[in-house]
């Protein structure tokens, strides 16, 4: 490693790298631990890079957090202060303020950026951080600063636009005042209006219409401007996903014109199609896919592709399978079958017919044997030599050893006549044994077709064949055999049609046997093609004749996809000769085909769910893009909790866009893309970089679309609010024209209180921006690492068996384990909602309290005022309060304004600066400022009032109305609600969410969620530990796997969850190199291990076993997880050996078999809980070892050959007896290891095994090995047992020399399986 490091950096001139080596050596101790725990990072340099990156990351976050961004919360306040303090108010001025503020922000942010850069640089130099890493964080910094600046600019923009709108509205209202001023100068017109209220209203409506039009015009201008700004803002957060497209402008315009302003919740209209149509050109013009080749980054998809085609086709469809691989292939089946009548004729036909039939085939066997017997001596000798050879040698080495054995035989013949004689007897015996074997094979057909017969007669037949007393003369032997056969034949029942088994285990064993021995049986074949496996299965089930063998192959659906045949062959078999064609043609074709597919027909259920049913046709692209749309929509909207669901179409609230929300959505989309890629990987392709970017860019457009709609909805609301002012304005208009002073005064009092109330609320928002920000920041404490730690504790560690003490139901716990991302997402949503409610309550109460207190104070002042005015009768005119100079020619309005100023000062307890105007002595008391309470908050802003509103015509009705309005508003304040969105920091809730959810990737081995924070370039890690693989249903036989990813051995064989491919752990880790499976710190590692052990052992484990039991409908055994890795679990296994010692085994073959058996025991011996039985069989069977611990010396003596015929039945009877005898000894497994060199009849004893109880059957495993190349009987046994759920396997054409290796392998495989 160190050498690599030095070689790597010798070529570079950067000396800091060498320095970092010396630094590394200084810290060798701490680093050494890291090296030990990180075998994944083989490169030394990579290791250093990782550590430095971690270091820099932490520092970066810390510096960034230390920066004070709270000035963002003051933006609105500052703008308002500036505008208030300036007497001149017009659009140019507002624009100037906006520009100034933006410039100010730019400077501020760039200062912050500079500041952070300096600190990072200092840190880099101090810690010798590589330049590459440093630059990476500089880039991140500039992106963050930039998007924060863009955010702030939107705040400025919105605030300025609010002010502008208010200004605009006020200007509109001024036209009402101007109109009144105009007609009041024309007494005739005034008189005419006064008489006719209808005319007043008409005039008002005309003016109002103009005002509204102008206001709406302005609103929509602002909206357009806002949308464009938002687009820039959002796309700046999307920099890393930016798609290069020439159509950007087109998309913006299309969305602005056709999409953004419509409600996305309309029932009658589905905008997904419209958006798709806008975006489709991107999918048509850019290359969307790339092939999976063996690069590091595509390896995990390669896993999917490398599965054989049948497995890929078998996987159940999900919504991600927008292209279904099943459509591209067909099932071709070749069937060998017999017609029922043919079969019945064949087994019943009597010998007079002489042409075909079972008996004719029997006669042929006898004739052949007779011919052999009568062969000339030389040939016969040769035959005998063959027999002898077959007897003592393994068939494989036949070629080489033939010569030597042949000469050996010559020697026997010439040198030792005694031995030769002996040999002749043996070979004669062998001859008749062969007849027996052939007859058994001939009769196997009865068992294959399950034809019933009298088994006693069958035994008679066998005995006749093997009876030495008939052997002397062939003709009488034949006669005896045929007689016995005919008797047996009479007992045959007619063939009864059975259901065809769905699975076909037989390979071609049966057909070969029938073809070879039952030559007279007429076989037929047929070939059929099906598009779906289900059709094929149905066809087989309903096939009218008796199927003996079927041969299924998958072939490309070339009738539909002629031009794709080569590509499809490549996808099926990955032959490199087709690879080039695949690469050139397929992607292009696939991309186009996705437009042509009609998913609506194929995915009917899905269509219903997603509301696709209203479309005529849905292609695969639409399927995918619609689903992405839905994912974003559900993230952007939150269902309204409140009851006002009258118009269900629009009641959903839309989240405010911000960087965190975008990140949340992007991390979700990232997972979606991974899932789509896993589906495309079936075809050997995945989305290209551009393909992914298209999805991201499309997602961005959707986010933008919702954001704009939200704003548009806000505009709608403000138009409604504007409309609600109409009535008040009309009343005022009428009163002003009629010069009804009492009415005027009342309306002015109402306007004053309303205005004040509104201003106070606005002030409250501005005043609390900072406090709100702090409050949110205080809540933002939990990272996803901490959250998982907490949940592990409350959900897993504190598991309660008692239902009443349970905080989480078992179902919830299982969800936490099996679908952690979803669980955490829901949990966090809930938590954040809670925080939101808390904060809302807090500030809403504060608002109500403050409102109440300030209104009460004013009310007290009003009561003070009323104590003077209430006694006035009639009310005193405004002018009369003042001492009038002789030459004063100011009109009434002048004094009405003065009075207003004066009274407001009194009511708000402000300073009185009215020295210029003397107040009549008798009224001085009313205006004595000291008798009024002071109101601390100065929010009265004259510029928010119309000129005409700043007057008091008559003080008495004004005061009375004030009092009435105050009471109304005091009541209103009690229920005043707060809109959190008006606080800039409100969007930080999304940040809390993002931080708590963190990264969404899950461990490919145990499904545990990565607990690091969300970012694009981190290595995934479960720093709270991985979970036991068994928790997610990974079973080893019937015990959950007790290992976690962080403690697995490099050499362990692991099956991945999705593809079920078995690989060494170290190789899997290479594929998932974006994961760090082990912790960096040894003590942490130990703590985590103990934690997971505790979790498993104290309740959760047992609960999960219970759940798995119900889910999988099989017996699951709970086993404690052990602390010490070196104490390996010793599973209780019973091994039963079944050894053939018939005559044909004599010689070397027996030696091999025996040593194979003993060698295997050597392996078994390692497991102290294992027991061994040995059954040796020929025509009879004997149990020589009965369930004992291995003792090689003793056992060697007991395994001895005795010779004889071959019968499986008695052997299986012994095995069955052993199982019954030891059934109460709690063996986890019974492994039966069976070996024979020949054939025998099908044993009826197998039936007993089928009748064992289910749980017992599930623990029996039968491994048969036979020298026969066509071991039909064993094949039938294996089929029968598999069908009744006893796992069985058969190796044919097996060589005895292989026995030790094969059996030892079985033993060690099962043993290690149970271990891991
Ligand atoms: Zn894991
Ligand atoms: Zn991660």
Alpha helices in 1056-1186 (DSSP H): 1065-1071, 1082-1095, 1101-1112, 1148-1164
* Element holding 654 (H helix, E strand): strand 653-654
Inform me whether the pLDDT recorded for 675 exceeds 90.
yes
3-state class (DSSP) for residue 959: helix
Cα–ligand 2 centroid distance for 1021 (angstroms): 6
Q: Give CA–CA dist 552/1248, Å, rounded.
A: 33
pLDDT at 9 over 70: no
Q: Relative to the alpha carbon of 670, which ligand is closest?
A: 2
Provide mean pLDDT across the span 215-228: 86
Contact yes or no for 1160/1300 (Cβ under 8 A): yes
CA of 1047 to the centre of ligand 1 (A): 10
105-119, 381-395, 693-707, 1216-1230: least confident range: 381-395
Residue 1202 and residue 857: Cα distance in Å, rounded?
116
pLDDT of residue 485: 85
Helix extents (H) in 870-954? 892-907
Give the DSSP H or E segment for 528: strand 524-530
Q: Is the pLDDT of residue 38 over 60?
A: no
Residue 836 scores a pLDDT above 60: yes
Mean pLDDT of the chain: 81
Task: Give the ligand with the smallest distance to the CA of 1000.
Answer: 2
Q: 1009 alpha carbon to ligand 2 midpoint, in Å?
A: 8
pLDDT digits (tens, 9 = 90+) for 759-797: 899 889 988 988 998 888 888 778 899 999 999 998 888
Q: For ligand 2, a single-atom ion, which residues have Cβ within 5 Å?
A: 999, 1001, 1010, 1012, 1020
Provide the 3-class DSSP secondary structure of residue 256: helix
Kindly list the distances between the CA atom of residue 987 and the CA atoms of 662, 946, 982, in Å, as whole numbers in the listed order. Answer: 11, 35, 10
Strand segments (E) across 35-93: none
**Mean pLDDT of the 937-952 span:** 78
For residue 1076, report the distance from its CA to the centre of ligand 1, in Å: 10
Return d(Cα 1007, Cα 819) in angstroms, integer: 7
Cβ 969 vs Cβ 751: under 8 Å: no
Give the model's confidence band at 1232: pLDDT under 50 very low, under 70 low, under 90 confident, else very high: very high
Higher local confidence (pLDDT), 1068 or 760: 760
Predicted confidence (pLDDT) at residue 1042 exceeds the cutoff of 90:
no
Q: How far is the CA of 1003 from the centre of ligand 2 (A)?
A: 9
pLDDT at 738: 83
Residue 954 pLDDT exceeds 80: yes
Residue 1 has pLDDT above 60, yes or no: no
pLDDT of residue 376: 53
What pLDDT digit, counting tens, does each position of 1087-1129 carry?
Answer: 888 888 888 888 888 888 888 888 777 777 787 776 544 445 6
Residues present in the chain in total: 1316
Distance 1031 CA to ligand 1 centre (A): 11
More confident position, 695 or 883: 695
pLDDT of 208 strictly over 70: yes
CA 1001–ligand 1 middle distance (angstroms): 11
pLDDT at residue 407 is higher than 60: no
Name beta bridge partners: 460: none
Residue pLDDT, tens place only, 275-322: 999 999 899 988 899 988 767 677 788 888 888 888 888 888 888 988
Residue 889: predicted pLDDT: 67
Q: Give the pLDDT of residue 439.
A: 83
d(CA 1154, CA 680): 53
Give residue 1076 CA to ligand 2 midpoint distance, Å: 10
pLDDT tens column, 1141-1188:
988 888 888 999 998 899 888 888 878 888 999 999 988 899 999 999
Task: Give bridge partners of residue 1233 from the DSSP assignment.
Answer: 1137, 1263
End-to-end CA distance of the chain: 31
Mean of the pLDDT values across residues 36-50?
Answer: 58
Q: Ligand 2 centre from 666 Cα, in Å?
A: 14
Distance 1011 CA to ligand 2 centre (A): 6
What proportion of the chain, given as a percentage, has pLDDT over 70? 85
Q: Which ligand is nearest to the CA of 1021?
A: 2
| Cα 1077 to averaged position of ligand 1 atoms, centre (Å) | 7
Tell me, what DSSP letter sits at residue 12? -
> How far, in Å, from the CA of 1086 to the mean position of ligand 1?
16
- Our measurement of the distance from residue 284's CA atom to the centroid of its chain's CA atoms, rounded to an integer in Å, reads 29
pLDDT at 1312: 53
Residue 117 has pLDDT above 90, yes or no: yes
Q: Report the separation in Å between the CA atom of 1066 and the middle of ligand 1, taken as the mean of its atom positions.
A: 14
Among candidates 710, 744, 705, which has minimal Cα distance to 728? Answer: 744
Close Cβ partners of 450 (under 8 Å, ≥ 6 residues apart): 496, 498
pLDDT digits (tens, 9 = 90+) for 1028-1040: 888 887 776 677 8
Distance of alpha carbon 1165 from alpha carbon 1186, whole angstroms? 16
Using the mean position of ligand 2's atoms as its centre, give its distance from the Cα of residue 1084 in Å.
19
Residue 561: the pLDDT is: 78
Q: Has residue 380 got a pLDDT over 80?
A: no
Taking the centre of ligand 1 as the mean of its atom positions, its distance from the CA of residue 1027, in whole angstroms, is 6
Tell me how far the alpha carbon of residue 1002 lies from the centroid of ligand 2, in angstroms.
Answer: 8
Query: Which of 929, 917, 915 is closest to 880 using CA atoms?
Result: 917
CA of 238 to the centre of ligand 1 (A): 31
pLDDT at 16 over 80: no
C-alpha to C-alpha distance for 114 and 875, rounded to whole angstroms: 68
Q: In this structure, which ligand is nearest to the CA of 1065?
A: 1
Average the pLDDT over 1045-1060 and give the result. 72
* Mean pLDDT confidence for 77-102: 87
Measured distance CA(1032)–CA(1005) in Å, rounded = 9
Q: What share of the chain is helix, strand, coil (3-state, %, to 5)?
A: 65, 10, 25
Q: State the residue for tokens 């004063």.
A: 888
Give yes or no for residue 148 having a pLDDT over 70: yes
Q: Which ligand is nearest to the CA of 1032?
A: 1
CA distances from 1049 to 256, 512, 1044, 1052, 1054 (A): 58, 46, 10, 5, 10
Furthest C-alpha separation in the chain: 170
Tell me the per-residue pLDDT of 552-596, one tens digit each, with 9 for 90 and over.
889 888 777 777 888 888 888 888 888 888 888 888 889 988 898
pLDDT for residue 405: 38
Residue 1162 near residue 1300, CB atoms below 8 Å: no
Question: 1123: CA distance to ligand 2 center in Å?
Answer: 29
Higher pLDDT, 711 or 333: 333
> What are 1234's strand-pairing partners?
1138, 1264
Report residue 846 as tokens.
Answer: 């504060």
Which residues, listed in sequence order, are joined to residue 1076 by a DSSP beta bridge? 1021
For position 122, what pLDDT does the model report?
Answer: 93
- Cα-trace Rg, the chain: 46
- Please, what's the b/e burial string for 292-310 (b: 16 or more CB within 10 A of its CB; e: otherwise)? beeeeebbbbbbbbbbebe
> What confidence tens digit (pLDDT) does each residue in 1240-1287 have?
888 888 888 988 888 888 889 999 999 888 788 888 888 888 878 888
């Amino acid at each position: 490693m160190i050498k690599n490091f030095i070689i790597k950096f010798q070529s570079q001139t950067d000396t800091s790298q060498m320095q970092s080596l010396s630094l590394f050596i200084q810290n060798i101790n701490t680093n050494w631990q890291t090296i030990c725990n990180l075998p994944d990072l083989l490169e030394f340099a990579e290791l250093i890079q990782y550590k430095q990156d971690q270091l820099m990351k932490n520092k970066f976050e810390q510096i960034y957090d230390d920066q004070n961004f709270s000035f963002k919360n003051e933006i609105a306040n500052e703008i308002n202060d500036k505008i208030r303090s300036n007497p001149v108010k017009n659009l140019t001025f507002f624009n100037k303020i906006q520009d100034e503020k933006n410039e100010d922000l730019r400077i501020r942010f760039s200062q912050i950026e500079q500041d952070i850069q300096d600190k990072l640089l200092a840190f880099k130099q101090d810690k010798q951080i590589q330049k590459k890493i440093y630059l990476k964080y500089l880039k991140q910094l500039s992106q963050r600063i930039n998007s924060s600046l863009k955010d702030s600019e939107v705040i400025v923009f919105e605030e300025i636009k609010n002010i502008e709108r208010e200004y605009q509205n006020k200007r509109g209202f001024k036209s009402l005042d101007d109109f009144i001023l105009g007609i009041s100068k024309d007494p005739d017109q005034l008189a005419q209006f006064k008489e006719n209220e209808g005319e007043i209203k008409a005039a008002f409506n005309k003016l109002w219409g103009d005002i509204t039009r102008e206001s709406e015009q302005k609103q929509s201008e602002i909206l357009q401007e806002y949308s464009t700004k938002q687009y820039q803002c959002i796309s700046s957060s999307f920099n890393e996903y930016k798609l290069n497209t020439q159509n950007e402008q087109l998309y913006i315009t299309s969305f602005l014109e056709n999409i953004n302003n419509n409600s996305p919740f309309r029932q009658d209209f589905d905008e997904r199609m419209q958006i798709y149509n806008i975006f489709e050109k991107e999918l048509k013009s850019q290359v969307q896919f790339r092939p999976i080749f063996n690069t590091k980054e595509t390896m995990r998809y390669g896993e999917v592709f490398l599965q054989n085609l049948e497995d890929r086709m078998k996987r159940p469809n999900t919504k991600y399978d927008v292209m279904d691989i099943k459509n591209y292939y067909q099932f071709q089946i070749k069937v060998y079958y017999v017609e029922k009548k043919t079969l019945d004729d064949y087994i019943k036909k009597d010998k007079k017919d002489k042409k075909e039939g079972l008996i004719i085939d029997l006669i042929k066997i006898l004739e052949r044997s007779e011919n052999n017997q009568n062969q000339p001596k030389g040939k016969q000798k040769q035959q005998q030599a063959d027999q002898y050879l077959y007897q003592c040698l393994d068939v494989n080495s036949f070629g080489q050893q033939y010569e030597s054995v042949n000469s050996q035989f010559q020697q026997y013949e010439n040198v030792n006549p005694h031995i030769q004689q002996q040999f002749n007897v043996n070979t004669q015996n062998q001859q008749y044994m062969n007849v027996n074997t052939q007859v058994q094979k001939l009769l196997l057909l009865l068992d294959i077709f399950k034809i019933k017969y009298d088994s006693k007669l069958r035994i008679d037949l066998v005995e006749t064949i093997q009876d030495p007393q008939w052997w002397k003369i062939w003709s009488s032997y034949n006669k005896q055999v045929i007689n016995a056969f005919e008797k047996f034949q009479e007992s045959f029942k007619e063939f009864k049609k059975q259901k065809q088994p769905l699975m076909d285990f037989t390979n071609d064993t049966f057909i070969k046997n029938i073809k070879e021995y039952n030559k007279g049986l007429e076989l037929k074949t047929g070939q059929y093609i099906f598009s779906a496996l289900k059709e094929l299965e149905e066809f087989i089930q309903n096939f009218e004749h008796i199927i003996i063998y079927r041969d299924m192959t998958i072939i490309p659906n070339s009738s539909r996809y002629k031009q794709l045949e080569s590509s499809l062959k490549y996808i099926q078999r990955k032959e490199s000769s087709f690879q080039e064609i695949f690469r050139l043609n397929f992607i292009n074709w696939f991309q186009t085909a996705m437009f042509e597919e009609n998913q609506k027909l194929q995915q009917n259920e899905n269509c219903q769910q997603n509301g696709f049913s209203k479309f005529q046709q849905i292609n695969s692209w639409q399927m995918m893009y619609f689903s992405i749309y839905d994912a974003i929509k559900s993230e952007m909207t939150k269902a309204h909790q409140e009851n006002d669901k009258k118009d269900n179409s629009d009641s959903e609230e839309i989240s405010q866009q911000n960087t965190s929300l975008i990140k949340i959505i992007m991390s979700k989309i990232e997972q979606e893309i991974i899932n789509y890629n896993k589906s495309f990987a079936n075809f050997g392709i995945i989305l290209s970089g551009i393909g992914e970017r298209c999805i991201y860019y499309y997602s961005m457009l959707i986010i933008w679309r919702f954001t704009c709609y939200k704003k548009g909805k806000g505009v709608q609301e403000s138009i409604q609010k504007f409309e609600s002012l109409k009535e008040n304005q009309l009343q005022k208009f009428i009163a002003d024209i009629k010069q009804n002073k009492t009415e005027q005064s009342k309306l002015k009092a109402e306007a004053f209180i309303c205005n004040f109330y509104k201003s106070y609320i606005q002030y409250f928002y501005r005043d609390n921006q900072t406090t709100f920000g702090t409050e949110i920041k205080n809540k933002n404490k939990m990272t996803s690492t901490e959250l998982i730690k907490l949940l592990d504790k409350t959900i897993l560690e504190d598991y309660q068996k008692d239902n009443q003490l349970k905080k989480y139901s078992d179902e919830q716990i299982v969800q936490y384990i099996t679908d952690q991302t979803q669980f955490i997402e829901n949990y966090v949503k809930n938590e954040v909602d809670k925080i939101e409610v808390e904060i809302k309550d807090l500030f809403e109460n504060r608002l109500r309290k403050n409102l109440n207190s300030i209104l009460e104070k004013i009310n007290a002042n009003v009561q003070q005022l009323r104590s003077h005015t209430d006694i006035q009768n009639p009310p005193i005119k405004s002018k009369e309060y003042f001492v009038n100079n002789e030459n004063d020619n100011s009109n009434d309005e002048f004094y009405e304004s003065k009075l207003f100023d004066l009274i407001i000062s009194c009511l708000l307890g402000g300073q009185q600066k009215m020295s210029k105007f003397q107040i009549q002595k008798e009224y001085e008391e009313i205006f004595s400022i000291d008798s009024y309470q002071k109101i601390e908050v100065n929010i009265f802003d004259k510029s928010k009032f119309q000129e005409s509103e700043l007057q008091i015509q008559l003080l008495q009705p004004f005061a009375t109305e004030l009092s009435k309005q105050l009471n109304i508003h005091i009541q209103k304040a009690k229920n005043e609600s707060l809109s959190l969105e008006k606080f800039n920091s409100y969007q930080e809730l999304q940040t809390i969410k993002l931080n708590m959810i963190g990264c969404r990737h899950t461990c490919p081995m145990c499904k545990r969620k990565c607990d690091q924070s969300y970012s694009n370039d981190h290595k995934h890690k479960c720093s709270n530990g991985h979970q036991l693989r068994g928790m997610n249903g990974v079973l080893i036989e019937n015990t959950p796997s007790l290992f976690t990813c962080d403690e697995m051995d490099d050499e362990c064989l692991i099956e991945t969850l999705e593809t079920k491919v078995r690989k060494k752990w170290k190789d899997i880790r290479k594929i998932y190199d974006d994961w760090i499976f082990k912790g960096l710190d040894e003590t942490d590692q130990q703590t985590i291990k103990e934690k997971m052990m505790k979790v498993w052992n104290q309740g959760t484990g047992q609960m999960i076993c219970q759940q798995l039991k119900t889910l999988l409908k099989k017996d699951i055994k709970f086993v404690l997880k052990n602390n010490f890795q070196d104490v390996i679990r010793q599973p209780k296994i019973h091994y039963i050996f079944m050894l053939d010692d018939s005559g044909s085994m004599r010689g070397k073959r027996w030696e091999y078999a025996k040593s194979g058996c003993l060698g295997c025991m050597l392996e078994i011996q390692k497991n102290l809980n294992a027991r061994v039985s040995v059954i040796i069989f020929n025509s009879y069977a004997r149990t020589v070892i009965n369930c004992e611990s291995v003792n090689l010396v003793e056992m060697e003596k007991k395994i001895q050959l005795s010779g004889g015929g071959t019968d499986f039945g008695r052997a299986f009877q012994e095995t069955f007896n052993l199982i019954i005898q030891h059934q109460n000894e709690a063996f986890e497994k019974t492994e039966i290891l069976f070996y024979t060199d020949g054939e025998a009849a099908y044993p009826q004893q197998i039936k007993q095994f089928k009748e064992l109880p289910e749980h017992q059957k599930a623990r029996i495993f039968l491994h048969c090995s036979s020298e026969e190349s066509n071991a039909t009987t064993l094949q039938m046994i294996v089929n029968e047992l598999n069908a009744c759920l006893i796992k069985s396997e058969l190796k044919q054409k097996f060589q005895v020399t292989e026995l030790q290796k094969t059996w030892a392998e079985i033993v060690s495989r099962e043993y290690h399986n149970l271990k891991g």
